[in-house]
Amino acid sequence: MYPQRTGLILWVSDSRHTKQLEKFGTIHYVSKRMHYVVLYVNSDRAEEATKAIQKLSFVKKIERSYRNEIRTEYNSNVPDKANLYT
C-alpha cells in the first residue's frame, strides 16, 4: 500500500534552487512566476523535513496543505427539489 503523504507549500526567494528540494520528497509543481513549490513528503517524516527545509537560505515560508483533512464523503440529507417542479 502507498504511504500516507503530506503536501507542503514552500515559498522560495528564487526558483533556481528548487532542485535541492528533491532529497526531501516529491516535487509536484514549481511556480516560477509566484515563487512557490508544492512538495509531497511522507507523513511520518513531515516534521523532520519541515525543520530541515526551513534551514535552507532560499526558503521564505512553509505552509502545510490541508487537502487530506478535507472531508470527501458526502451525504444528501437535502430533499430532492426535482419533484416539486413536476
Domain definitions of the chain by residue range: 5-69
Q: Tell me the CATH number for domain 5-69.
A: 3.30.70.920
| pLDDT tens-digit map of 19-71 | 999 999 999 999 999 999 999 999 999 999 999 999 999 999 999 998 888 88
Has residue 86 got a pLDDT over 70?
no
Taking the C-alpha atoms of residue 16 and residue 82, their distance in angstroms, rounded to an integer, is 54
What are residue 19's phi and psi, to 5 degrees? -60, -30
pLDDT value of position 51: 96
pTM for the model: 0.78
